[in-house]
Chain A
Amino acid sequence: MVLLGGPLGISLAPQIKAYSGGLYKALKPLANAYANVVGHRKMGLKYDDLITEEREDIQRALGRLTTREEYDRSFRMRQAFQQSVMHKPLPKAQWLKPSEDDRYLTPRINQVVKEDDERTLYDTMSVEKRK
C-alpha cells in the first residue's frame, strides 16, 4: 500500500497537540471512541501492530525492537490470528487496556524516517564554494 506522507501516513495530531486552545482536550473523547470502534484492543492488539509492515523502512524499524518487544509483538499477532480464525474477539477480561496500548514502534519509525530524510538531503544538495 502506498501511503502519502511517509510510512505513518498523514496526521494532524502534532498540530492539534501544539495548539493551546483546548482543542486536544475537546477531541480526546472522540479519539478514544474511534480507537474502541477500530476494535484492535478486543483482539489483544496494540495500535502500532496495525501499521503496514510491508515496507523497507518499517522493516528496518522492526529490526530495531528489543528481543522482548519482538516476542510480545509476535505473541499478540498469533493470538489475534487465532481469534480471527474463530470469528470472535477475546473474552472481555483479556482485552487490551487503553493504558497498555503504547506506541512502541512509532518512535523507531520516526528515527528511520529522519535518517532517510537526511540521506536524501545529502544526496540532493548543491555545494557552493566557500567565499
Chain B
Amino acid sequence: MSLLTRLSRGRAPATSALKRAYASVADASGVKVAAVEGGAPPATASVTVVVKAGSRYETQPGVAHVLKSFAFKSTDAGSALKTAREAELYGGVLSAALSREHLFLTAEFLRGDEAHFLNVLASVLSSTHFYPHEYAELVLPTIQAESLSALASPTTLALDLAHSTAFRRGLGNSLFASPHSPVSAADVKSFAQKAFAKSNIAVLGAGLSTDQLAKAVQSAFGSGSATGSSGLSGGSTTYYGGEQRVPLDVHAGPSAQPTLVIAYGSTGAPSADLKALPHLLGGVSALKWTPGSTPLSLAADKVPGASAKAFLLPYSDASLFGVVVTAPTSEGVAAVAKDVAAAIKAAGSAKDEEVKRAVAKAKFADATVLESSAGLIATAGASLFSGSIPSPDSSFAALQKVSASSIGKAASDLFKQKPTVVAVGDLNVLPYADELGL
C-alpha cells in the first residue's frame, strides 16, 4: 500500500515532463509543413514527405505499391544511380514506405545537408520519368519480391484479407501489387500526377525547426512541384464483415504458423474506449517469463508456442479492432481461438481495476509512439493534413474518462456487429466463426 501511494505521488512531475512542445503546422507555398525538434540538438535530421496516396486511394489495384517502388528512380535531376550514389556520399538514407492511407518518402541525413535532400525529394515529386524500361528492370523485380515475401507470412496475409473482408473497397484494398492485376508504367504516371498535387502532400521534419524546414521547402518545392490536379478521393468507408479461409502451403517454413484473425470494424475516428480495449484484452506480457494476467495471454498460455494478441488499427474515418491468434499447429489455433472468443464476449463486463490497468497501458503506448521516428512519421505525419499534430496530453484527457461502464458499452456495441474471421492454415481443423460462437 505504501508503495502504491509513493508511486502515485511520484506521478506529478512525470506528467509535467510530458507536456513537451509540439510544433505547430506552417504553410510553405501551399504545402503543410511541421517539424518536431528534440530537446538537445541531435546529429541527424530527417524529412518525410507524406503523400495521401496509400492503397485506399488507388485508381486500380496495386498502383500505390508500384508508385512506392518507383520512388528515387530517374528524374530530371539525374538517374536513379546518381540519386543513390550521392545519398551514399552524403551519408544519408532514402526510403519509401506505404500504409493504407499514406505514402511516406523519407530522407534521413546529417544536419546541414537538408538542402540537398529536399531537392532530391522535390525532384521525385515533380519530375520522376516513370520510364517503362526502369519499371521492367528495376521496379518490377522489387515489387515481386516484396509481395511474395510479405504474403508468405500468414499474419500479414490474414490481416490483408481481414481488411478486404471488413471494408471491401477503399481501406480494403490490398497493400501489395498482385500479378493478377498488372499495372503499366503509364498507369503509375497518371496516378502519380494526381497523388503529387500540392494539396495532397505534407512535409514532416525531425531534428529541424519548423521555420528552417518551411524555408527549405519553399525554395525546393516552390516552383517545380506539380499543381493543379485535385488529388485523389478515397470514398467513404463502410464495415461489412465476413469470413475468409485460405489453406497454408504444406511446404511453408516453420516460421509460417497457422493463423486466425478475429476482427471487428467501426467507422469514425477511434474513441478513447476503443483505444483502451486492446490493452484490456492484452496478449503482450509486460514482464519476462510470465504470461501476465490479461485474458488473451492466459488463453494463449495453455498451448505451448501459441500467441494471441489484440490490435487496433486506426484510420482517418474507420478503425479495425481484432485479435491475431497463432500457434505451431492448426489444432492449437483452434483450441486458443475458443478461449479468445470467450474472452472477447466477456470484455464488456471487465472489472474496474482491469480497466484502470488498460488505460494506463494505453497512455504509455500513446506517449511512446511519438518517441520513435517510425511512430512519429506514422502518427504525426497522418495528422498533418488536419492542420495540427496532437500532443499526448489531449489523448490522456480522453483516456482518463474511460470507465468500466463506458468501455463495456463500447465493447458490446462493437461486438454485436458481424465479425470478420480470417483463417490461414489447415482448413479441415480451423474453426468457422459460428463454431466459435461469434
Q: Which residue numbers of A lie inside 8 Å of B, CB to CB?
A: 60, 63-64, 115, 118-119, 122, 127
Cα–Cα distance between A127 and B86 once the two chains are bound (Å):
11
| Pick from B79, B89, B136: contact of A115, CB under 8 Å | B79
Q: Which residue numbers of B lie inside 8 Å of A, CB to CB?
A: 79, 81-82, 85, 89, 132-133, 136-137
Please judge, given known A-B contacts A122-B85, A127-B89, whether A63 and B79 are in contact too, CB under 8 Å: no
Cα–Cα distance between A64 and B81 once the two chains are bound (Å):
18
Closest CB in chain A relative to B133 CB, distance in Å: 4
Closest CB in chain A relative to B426 CB, distance in Å: 43
Cα–Cα distance between A119 and B81 once the two chains are bound (Å):
7
Chain B: interface secondary structure?
helix
Q: In the complex, are the beta carbons of B79 and A118 less than 8 A apart?
A: yes
Q: Which residues of A have CB within 8 Å of B132?
A: 64
Q: Which residues of A have CB within 8 Å of B81?
A: 115, 118-119, 122
Residue on A nearest B82 in the bound complex, by CB: A118
Q: In the complex, are the beta carbons of A63 and B136 less than 8 A apart?
A: yes
Task: Name 17 interchain pairs, CB-CB below 8 A, sorted by A.
Answer: A60-B137, A63-B133, A63-B136, A63-B137, A64-B132, A64-B133, A64-B136, A115-B79, A115-B81, A118-B79, A118-B81, A118-B82, A119-B81, A122-B81, A122-B82, A122-B85, A127-B89
Cα–Cα distance between A119 and B132 once the two chains are bound (Å):
20
Closest CB in chain B relative to A50 CB, distance in Å: 23
Closest CB in chain B relative to A68 CB, distance in Å: 13
Number of A-B contacts (CB under 8 A): 17
Cα–Cα distance between A52 and B82 once the two chains are bound (Å):
29
Q: Which residues of B have CB within 8 Å of A122?
A: 81-82, 85
Residue on A nearest B132 in the bound complex, by CB: A64
Closest CB in chain B relative to A64 CB, distance in Å: 4
Q: Which residues of B have CB within 8 Å of A119?
A: 81
Q: Which residues of A have CB within 8 Å of B133?
A: 63-64
Cα–Cα distance between A60 and B136 once the two chains are bound (Å):
11
Q: Which residues of B have CB within 8 Å of A60?
A: 137
Q: Which residues of B have CB within 8 Å of A63?
A: 133, 136-137
Residue on A nearest B133 in the bound complex, by CB: A64
Q: Which residues of A have CB within 8 Å of B82?
A: 118, 122
Residue on B nearest A108 in the bound complex, by CB: B133
Q: Which residues of A have CB within 8 Å of B79?
A: 115, 118
Cα–Cα distance between A127 and B90 once the two chains are bound (Å):
11
Cα–Cα distance between A64 and B136 once the two chains are bound (Å):
9
Cα–Cα distance between A115 and B136 once the two chains are bound (Å):
16
Cα–Cα distance between A118 and B79 once the two chains are bound (Å):
9
Closest CB in chain A relative to B79 CB, distance in Å: 6
Cα–Cα distance between A115 and B133 once the two chains are bound (Å):
12
Cα–Cα distance between A63 and B136 once the two chains are bound (Å):
9
Residue on A nearest B85 in the bound complex, by CB: A122
Residue on A nearest B88 in the bound complex, by CB: A122
Cα–Cα distance between A127 and B89 once the two chains are bound (Å):
8
Most chain A CB atoms below 10 A, which of B81, B132, B133: B133
Cα–Cα distance between A60 and B133 once the two chains are bound (Å):
9
Residue on A nearest B84 in the bound complex, by CB: A122
Residue on B nearest A127 in the bound complex, by CB: B89
Closest CB in chain B relative to A65 CB, distance in Å: 10
Cα–Cα distance between A118 and B85 once the two chains are bound (Å):
11
Q: Which residues of B have CB within 8 Å of A115?
A: 79, 81
Cα–Cα distance between A63 and B137 once the two chains are bound (Å):
9
Cα–Cα distance between A64 and B138 once the two chains are bound (Å):
13
Closest CB in chain A relative to B92 CB, distance in Å: 15
Closest CB in chain A relative to B135 CB, distance in Å: 11
Residue on A nearest B136 in the bound complex, by CB: A63
Q: Which residues of B have CB within 8 Å of A118?
A: 79, 81-82
Q: Which residues of B have CB within 8 Å of A127?
A: 89
Most chain A CB atoms below 10 A, which of B85, B89, B132: B85
Closest CB in chain B relative to A87 CB, distance in Å: 39
Closest CB in chain A relative to B74 CB, distance in Å: 9
Cα–Cα distance between A115 and B73 once the two chains are bound (Å):
13
Cα–Cα distance between A6 and B378 once the two chains are bound (Å):
49
